Amino acid sequence: MSNDILMYLLIGVGVLFAVIVIAYLIIRKKLQSSGVREIQKLRAGTEEKKFTKEIIYQKLYLVYRKLPFIKRYLLKIRRRLEIINIDDEYLTRNQASKILTNSILIIIPLTIIIIMMTHENLLLMIFLLVFEVFLADTIIGGMVDKIDNKLLRQQINFFSEIRHAYHEYNMVEEAIYQVAQDDEQPEMSRQAEKIYEVLISDDPEGELEKYYDVAPNSYLKEFAGVSYLTKEFGDRKVDGASLYLKNLNNITQEMQLEILKRDKLDYVFQSLSLISIVPILFMEPIKNWAISSFSFTTSFYNGKAGMIIQILILILTFVCYLLTRKLKDNGSVNLSTKNTENPWQAKLYKIKIVKKFVDLFIPKDGTKEYRKLQKDMKDAATKDKMEWIYINRILLCIVTFIVSILVIMYLHHIVIQNVYTDPTADYDVIGAMSDSDVKNAMEITESDNDYILHFRGDTTVTADDIALEMERGRINDDYEESSPDEITVAAERVLGKLQIVNSENMQWFEVLLSMVFAVIAYNGPIWMLKFQAKMRQLEMEDEVMQFQTIILMLMRIERVNVEIILEWLERYANIFKEPISKCVNNYESGPWEALEQLKEDVSYQEFIRIVESLQAAVEKIPIADAFDELDTERDYYQARRKESNERLISRKGMIGRAIGFAPMVTIFVGYLIIPLVFIGMTSMTTSMNGLAADY
């Protein structure tokens, strides 16, 4: 019995061993597969590198979300990246954190440099530190634009692959799905997957409208729209080629022109914003050099005149910086990072007292002023509401008035302070005073201060009164051994200083001047709208040529009519959006009349020609015949488009350079050369008169 049990045990052990060996071989074979090896590599990498860049950026993102001031910029970046990185929260957080971290790494050293260079000039330091807030927007915007431009370049490669996939499958949605599986272009793959989901949905037309609202650029809108029309109405052959592929080629050509345009604009404007800012960092070094090299300029740079010129240069720099940014960004297809749903102006306007106060300034609906402002807003394509603009105007007005009053009071304080602290001596034209000269000059200043403090506030005092006190020696004994002529000269000098101290008070005309500055600031947002509208006029020809490309894509598709074309033009319009929207709304009541009104609402002749062709297509001839010249003269329009872009960039570059270099020229000419020449000539004239009097 025991032998049988032993045998069974041996058999069981043998079977178990065999099972273990077989299981081991199977598991080993699976572990050697490429997929498992890849997982092991990923795992090993994760386990070894616990602090990769991606992990650090993810952790920094959580930190930034908790910081009040930083959180504003983080959300601003997210709004742009969420559109590009559809449904990819991890990548959106990673990119947002990376951009914000890089911006902080630039801003912090710049802040240290500003403090080191301007620590002796509190006003300049405060201005530059506040200015960094606007500079941060520029840095962040530039980094996000790079991602947007990267997506645009990926679209060109994507469309090229779509052509091959469409030849293979001959189905729009299948071609898009296959190309969307490419992991080498993740940003474009996500957009393609979204478009594929739209095309296969139960309500593709409704989903397409939703996608139009979140598409990163107009070219993806065009691609999605053309793909939908081809899927719904089918493809057809035009001149032996697929109409769908011809339309893809048209969109590709548009994107290539846009990429070239952006690259050239970036090249022209890449340094203009910095050029408009950087010169003000050298205001303090220029001032110190001028004072150390030409002592006669001390009273100017440390006085009221120098401070006024400095403030004017700071304001000019701020305005030039804003105009340069507006000039570069105008016409871009990039979406704004501004929160247009619930900005701080909307929150402020919800307060009842504020709302009642702001409503007092907003013009009544139907008035001439109301219509004029509405037109300016439409021409500038601003997304702000009228009440938001008036909140900006009122706050700018109030802040400017208060700041102007404070600055004027500060200027008075500087003048008085300089009287008490500046060395009293006749300066040489070139060079600085020696230490002994400075010591003697300061002794005279301290002596004069005693008399100024004694007579301060007395506007009836004369030089004789001061001379009498000097002779008596009751205030100080510095003039006990002085001659009458020396006392007379000293009394005249003290009287001059005393008159300066007594006159440095807030005057009525200075309050009036502050009101003028406040009125200028109140109109500032309106002038900015007008400037933006003026710059948008430069984009008018470019937009009309985009319309021609859209019509060229639609006119060969069956069942496309004038109303559909108008809806497409409205979707992609920027400058002409308002009149086209009005035409679309009035189309049902009469196509011809609506188009005739559209002709009256616009003045650009090239666009009027398009409207006239649409009118012909409404009643007389087919759409393809109405716009046949677009197809036959395609090469001419492409060459014209390139030339138009060249002219646009040239004009913008010329305006941008004039604006960008204005602060630099003003600083070196108005803050250095003119003061040196004027004060030097005045000092030489005074010296020559003195010599003539002595002889």
Question: 66 in a domain, yes or no?
Answer: no
Amino acid in the structure at residue 207 = E
Question: 544 in a domain, yes or no?
Answer: no
Q: Model confidence over 646-668: pLDDT tens digits?
A: 887 888 888 888 888 888 888 88
Question: 598 in a domain, yes or no?
Answer: no
Mean pLDDT of the chain: 79
Helix residue spans in 238-367 (DSSP H): 243-269, 272-277, 283-293, 298-301, 304-329, 344-349, 352-359
Q: Model confidence over 141-151: pLDDT tens digits?
A: 788 888 888 88
Q: Across-strand partners of 242?
A: 237
What pLDDT score does 330 carry?
Answer: 44
- Residue 339 in this model has a pLDDT that exceeds 50: no
What pLDDT score does 37 carry?
Answer: 54
In this prediction the pTM is 0.67
> Residue 43's CB: how many other CB atoms inside 10 A?
10
Least confidently predicted of 22-31, 34-43, 223-232, 541-550? 34-43
> What is the mean predicted confidence (pLDDT) over 562-569?
87
Question: 437 in a domain, yes or no?
Answer: yes
582 three-class SS: helix
For residues 256 and 545, give the distance between their C-alpha atoms in angstroms, rounded to a whole number: 14
Q: For the chain, how far is it from start to end, CA to CA, in angstroms?
A: 149
- How confident is residue 429, by pLDDT bands cut at 50, 70 and 90? very low
- How confident is residue 25, by pLDDT bands cut at 50, 70 and 90? low
- Residue 112 in this model has a pLDDT that exceeds 80: yes
Distances, alpha carbon 134 to alpha carbons 131, 274, 374, 416, 659, in Å: 6, 12, 27, 34, 17
Q: Across-strand partners of 431?
A: 294
For residues 151 and 567, give the distance between their C-alpha atoms in angstroms, rounded to a whole number: 26
According to the per-residue pLDDT averaged within each range, which of 86-95, 229-238, 522-531 is highest? 522-531
What pLDDT score does 402 carry?
Answer: 92
241-242 vs 237-238, strand pairing mode = antiparallel
Q: What is the DSSP string of 360-376?
A: TTSPPTTSHHHHHHHHH
- Residue 475 in this model has a pLDDT that exceeds 80: no
Question: 482 in a domain, yes or no?
Answer: yes
Amino acid in the structure at residue 290 = A
- Residue 48 in this model has a pLDDT that exceeds 70: no
- Closest by CA to 222, choosing from 568, 465, 575, 566, is 568
All residues at 6 or more sequence positions from 136 whose CB lies less than 8 Å from its CB, including other chains: 73, 103, 107
Calculate what percentage of the chain has a pLDDT beyond 90: 3
Contact 582, 598 (CB under 8 A): yes
Question: 42 in a domain, yes or no?
Answer: no
Q: Model confidence over 238-296: pLDDT tens digits?
A: 777 788 888 888 888 888 888 888 888 888 777 777 777 777 778 878 888 887 777 77
What pLDDT score does 522 carry?
Answer: 92
- Residue 642 in this model has a pLDDT that exceeds 60: yes
- Residue 689 in this model has a pLDDT that exceeds 70: no
Amino acid in the structure at residue 297 = T
All residues at 6 or more sequence positions from 72 whose CB lies less than 8 Å from its CB, including other chains: none
What total of structural domains would you count in the chain?
A: 1
> What is the mean predicted confidence (pLDDT) over 375-387?
78
Distances, alpha carbon 469 to alpha carbons 94, 351, 459, 688, in Å: 77, 63, 16, 32
- Domain boundaries, position 442: 422-503
For residues 540 and 653, give the distance between their C-alpha atoms in angstroms, rounded to a whole number: 17
What pLDDT score does 216 carry?
Answer: 84
- Residue 7 in this model has a pLDDT that exceeds 70: no
> Residue 286's CB: how many other CB atoms inside 10 A?
15
What pLDDT score does 434 carry?
Answer: 64
- How confident is residue 512, by pLDDT bands cut at 50, 70 and 90? very high
Question: 181 in a domain, yes or no?
Answer: no
Contact 520, 478 (CB under 8 A): no
Amino acid in the structure at residue 618 = V
- Closest by CA to 539, choosing from 372, 651, 378, is 651
Question: 426 in a domain, yes or no?
Answer: yes
What pLDDT score does 333 carry?
Answer: 36
For residues 341 and 548, give the distance between their C-alpha atoms in angstroms, rounded to a whole number: 33
Q: What is the DSSP string of 379-420?
A: HHT----HHHHHHHHHHHHHHHHHHHHHHHHHHHHHHHHHHH
Q: What is the DSSP letter of 281?
A: G
